[in-house]
A and B are shown apart, each in its own frame.
Chain A
Amino acid sequence: MTDRRPLRLAVLLFAIVAALMVLTLSGCSSEPIVPAEGEVTCVGCHTDRAMLQADLEADPMPEKVKAESEGEG
């Protein structure tokens, strides 16, 4: 009986290398999926009212400039 273990190992290694190449070429391997230390996500900030309040207190939104109208429009 022929020992097929080396062949199976070679196929497995080839599959791993191919998968890594696909990920690299598609750019997925370089896209972080978790924030680095000190970074926040959209969801992390916009679901945390205290964080939004603190951020807006430190850096208020610019006021919208409107002309005053009189009467009902």
Chain B
Amino acid sequence: MEADLAALVSPAFFDTTHGKMDCIDCHGGEKFATTRAEAHEGMEPLPSKSPEYAESVCQPCHAEIADKMAVNMHADTAAVSDPVSAVVLARATDPEIVKQGLQNNCATCHVSGCGDCHVSRPQFNDGGLVNGHVFYKSPNSSLNCMGCHGSRIQKEYTGAGESEKTAVLSADVHWSPGGMQCVDCHTVEWMHGGDDYDTRYDAPAAPKCVDCHTQDAAFEAIAMHAKHGTPESDTYLQCQVCHSQDYNNCTSCHVALNEDDLPYYETESSYFDFNIGRNYDPSDARPWDYIVVRHVPVSESTFDFYGEGALGNLDALPTWKYATPHTIKRVTRQTENGCSSCHGNRDLFLTEDDLAGLTDLERAANKDVVVTDVP
């Protein structure tokens, strides 16, 4: 985005509530000046910058949101990068090495304040005002959400991915023709958070298919739903097992610093594929027998730049993990030919064949996920 457009304020802004305030009320700086440097002295371009939400300029008017935003996963990314609670630490045999990598390479993705969703493109994506500084309640799916969630969610949801196993991947039916925006499922209650939970799937307000698609008589009138779609089913399947197209998987991400001490990463590969695995961690929220699993980019050598062998407990968690792909479609290669689409079709399941060539540690990591007897 051109630098002038990124900072250009529209006349419409001055008709809004925020436009009635003085610029320096939020941004500081000098009201009158003869040069840009003079005008911007003491100026804060991102006045809602995390992690000080509760002390931000937004707080006096939006206290209910600002006071709890700092614990929201968009604000602190604790599950990804926190030195105490990051999920990857469960795999660590040398936590101190892993923490260095987390600090340098993984703690950079949190949003840069309220403005990242409500007035500009995310700073992670170089920012720039979306609508001439006019604030908006609902983030724009393409410009805000997908500004960060571009590699998995955008490709999957808009049908931009390519798979060797499926000739044509369609957009998720909720996006096209559904026209549903991210916030239609990922509601404001979840986005603004305030609840205490370990992972995004544990959030009380996390979206669920059954929020809209109730398991009622009409649902159960469909033979496949009666067979596999209710808690009373002999074999209960996560909805995506039947209704997800291929989705993005990544392998072997390595993090490091370059010669100028700037962080970077290298991912070995990314590819669209589909795999059904056994539910390795059943719970009330995830009661299914089978789930879809996505390969996550961790490997034993992910943090080798900081010290070799730091992830000696790679097998503490699977590397094919529970997934909720954004590639939903009614008819998929799992449903198009009825029962025989899945039954006996090893290609749809995560089997020992998929683990060929992996290290013993990674094979062990997925022992509870692999399907040994394909139904």
Contact = CB atoms under 8 A, between A and B. Distances in A.
B7 interface: yes
B32 A71 contact: no
Interface residues of A, number: 30
Interface of B: 3-5, 7-11, 14, 23-24, 27, 29, 31-34, 36, 39, 126, 151-152, 248, 250, 253, 257-258, 260, 262-270
Contact of A39 (B34, B258, B265, B266): B34
A38 B34 contact: yes
The main secondary structure of chain A at its interface with chain B is: loop
Interface in A28-68: 32, 35-36, 38-43, 45-47, 49, 52-53, 55-56, 59-61, 64-68
B36 A71 contact: no
28 contacts: A32-B32, A35-B32, A38-B34, A40-B32, A40-B33, A42-B24, A42-B29, A43-B14, A43-B23, A46-B8, A47-B9, A49-B4, A52-B7, A56-B4, A65-B262, A67-B257, A67-B262, A67-B263, A67-B264, A68-B258, A70-B265, A70-B267, A71-B250, A71-B253, A71-B265, A71-B266, A71-B270, A72-B270
A59 B36 contact: yes
Residue of A46, A60, A65 with most chain B CB atoms under a 10 A cut-off: A46
Contacts of A67: 257-258, 260, 262-264
Given A64-B126, A66-B262, A49 B8 contact: yes
A11 to B, nearest CB: 35
B266 A43 contact: no
A65 B32 contact: no
A69 B262 contact: no
B7 A69 contact: no
Contact of A42 (B3, B39, B248, B265): B39
